[in-house]
Homo-oligomer: A and B are copies of this chain.
Amino acid sequence: MISLDDLKALARPAETKVVLLVMDGLGGLPRTFDGKTELEAAQTPNLDAMAAQGTLGLADPVAPGITPGSGPGHLGLFGYDPLQFRIGRGVLEAVGIDLRLTDEDLAARGNFCSVDSQGLITDRRAGRIPTEVCTRLCGLLEKIQIPGVELIVRPVREHRFVVLFRGAGLEEGLSETDPQEVGKPPLSVHAEAPHAGHAAEVANLFVTGARKALADQHPANMVLLRGFSKYPKIPKLTEIYGVKAGVLAVYPMYRGLARLVGMEAVKAGDTVADEFTALETNFARFDFFFVHIKKTDSYGEDGNFENKVHVIEEVDREIPRLLALKPDVVVVTGDHSTPAAHKAHSWHPVPVLLWSRWCRPDEAKGFSERECRFGGLGHVHAAQLLPLMMGYAERLAKFGA
């Protein structure tokens, strides 16, 4: 695969506009051996017309057989090999609630949990306390004093929170405190990387402080910390390709992932139609647009085939508004597959539709997994799609003379 340095050397300015439209978990499965996938079952006249003019393919987000999480799935679509660039779970959770991390921050995912009088865990999720209680308790945790360290503790939902340890010399590479079962005490943190000793001390001080601060707060009278991680060093899209990139996403996680690679988040509203309105509103402001549709994935995870089909159809109805903006390159795809039949992310390759005036038309009958098998893009690694988009957008100079 071509390196980001090589791509950066080839990048050249252009007036072209590129839209990456991601239906989260788009790839599907038939419910029976002879049935249709969600995308095949959906009535998508507009996407089908684009497929007839465009070039199709299938993409592996990480590698054949590997099921991606949302982080790796999107990093791949943004042109980064997810096996090379890894985002820790603490960071992912932090960007998911719109926290902006600095280089001095060590992030961790937190759970409130219940412990008995001996300090043994009786409920790893503290009875899923309401988010309002979580918010109040985060306030208590933020008051813990650790010399040289600023604490930012923010609620996520129910028993889940994020803690940022902000201070010099806090390196990642820490063990987790969650023993993953009840009847045991929370584990103490130890350094698993050479320079993480100070961070381990800080994390243990926080845990000790939390035990005192929460003593009277049963069922949420203790915390478990996981996924200690720093903000990854990722070259930004702007630095590589010189594009001004914007993200339109209803859910904060995806705005956060896009910010990681240098995109600017704009107000996207709450519905699919809102997102396309935001695209119209902001179309002059950016060269590159990442539009994220969440609910294809949510319904896939619920095993709700019909509603996943309906979301795809809802997106299809907005396609004329997208094309009316006269984008130069449009890619419609997913960050991974979430077949309703599987009720979870899966390893299946993702259908890809690339549309531009420079396409060799595939003359496909429609946009579907089975048509994508025959597409002119072939079977690619997802991280190859962004260079492809930039190529079709005439934003990459000739390599060599």
Binding site for B on A (CB under 8 A): 1-3, 6, 10, 29-30, 33-34, 37, 52-53, 58, 62-72, 82-83, 86-87, 89, 92-93, 227, 339, 342, 345-349, 358-363, 369-370, 373-380, 384-385, 387-392, 396-401
Contact = CB atoms under 8 A, between A and B. Distances in A.
A242 B387 CA distance: 37
Contacts of A389: 65
A64 B373 contact: no
A51 to B, nearest CB: 12
Given A58-B378, A347-B391, A358-B346, A66 B396 contact: yes
A375 B400 CA distance: 29
A349 B52 CA distance: 19
25 contacts: A1-B63, A2-B62, A6-B83, A29-B360, A33-B361, A34-B361, A58-B378, A62-B399, A63-B384, A64-B385, A65-B384, A65-B392, A65-B396, A66-B391, A66-B396, A67-B391, A68-B399, A69-B401, A71-B400, A87-B401, A92-B400, A363-B370, A370-B376, A373-B374, A377-B379
Contacts of A370: 360, 362-363, 376
Nearest to A90: B401
Contacts of A2: 62-63, 66, 83
Nearest to A37: B360
Contacts of A63: 1-2, 384, 387
Nearest to A401: B69
A369 B373 contact: no
Contacts of A64: 377, 380, 384-385, 387-388, 391
A40 to B, nearest CB: 10
B358 A362 contact: no
B65 A399 contact: no
Contacts of A72: 399-400
A396 B347 contact: yes
Given A64-B387, A349-B376, 14 more contacts: A30-B360, A33-B52, A63-B384, A63-B387, A64-B384, A65-B384, A65-B391, A67-B398, A71-B400, A82-B400, A92-B401, A345-B398, A369-B376, A379-B380
A146 B67 CA distance: 55
A359 to B, nearest CB: 8
| Most chain B CB inside 10 Å of its own CB: which residue of A10, A66, A70, A347 | A66
A387 B34 contact: no
Contact of A387 (B37, B66, B68, B397): B66
Nearest to A2: B63
A160 B359 CA distance: 36
A152 to B, nearest CB: 20
Contact of A82 (B29, B392, B399): B399
A331 B312 CA distance: 33
A97 to B, nearest CB: 14
A347 B400 CA distance: 13
Given A65-B384, A373-B362, A401-B92, A53 B33 contact: yes
The list of the 6 closest CB pairs from A to B, nearest first, reads: A378-B379, A65-B391, A69-B400, A65-B387, A347-B391, A65-B388
Contacts of A362: 370, 373
A339 B394 CA distance: 14
A186 to B, nearest CB: 21
A361 B30 contact: yes
Contact of A376 (B6, B68, B373, B377): B373
Contacts of A397: 67
